[in-house]
């Protein structure tokens, strides 16, 4: 990870065991948003992905902590697309 990137800090699980992790991702259009959503929703345990292109945020909801798998997939997307990826503290 680069100097501007930090490790994701997911929220504690809610009463149903869902963990929320927020990423700052260099999406510039709906195509980027769609690609990120497609990549992340294929991960086992991910139950929801919300993207906001304007704010450049991706919120992942998963059954259990999937931050490492999501981070790996987003960093691979970053390498292929040339976009930035940062991980936000959701606390």
| The predicted structure's pLDDT at residue 10 | 64
- pLDDT band for position 51 (50/70/90)? very high
| The predicted structure's pLDDT at residue 91 | 44
Out of 3.30.70.100, 3.90.79.10, 3.40.1530.20, 3.40.50.720, select the CATH number for domain 18-88. 3.30.70.100
Q: Which residue has the higher pLDDT, 83 or 18?
A: 18
pTM of the model: 0.75
Distances (CA, A) of 24 to 13, 34, 72, 76: 21, 15, 14, 15
| The predicted structure's pLDDT at residue 25 | 87
Q: pLDDT per residue over 62-76, tens digit each?
A: 887 777 787 788 888
Distances (CA, A) of 63 to 5, 44, 67, 74, 79: 24, 9, 11, 18, 27
Q: What is the CA radius of gyration of the chain?
A: 12
């Amino acid at each position: 990870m680069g100097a501007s990137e930090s490790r994701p800090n997911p929220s504690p699980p809610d009463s149903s065991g869902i963990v929320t992790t927020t990423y700052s991702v260099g999406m510039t259009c709906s195509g980027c948003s769609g690609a990120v959503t497609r990549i992340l929703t294929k991960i086992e345990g991910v139950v929801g992905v919300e993207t906001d292109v304007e704010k450049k945020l991706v919120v992942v909801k998963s059954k259990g902590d999937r931050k490492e798998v999501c981070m790996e997939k987003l960093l691979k997307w970053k390498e292929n697309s040339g976009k930035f990826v940062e991980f936000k503290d959701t606390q």
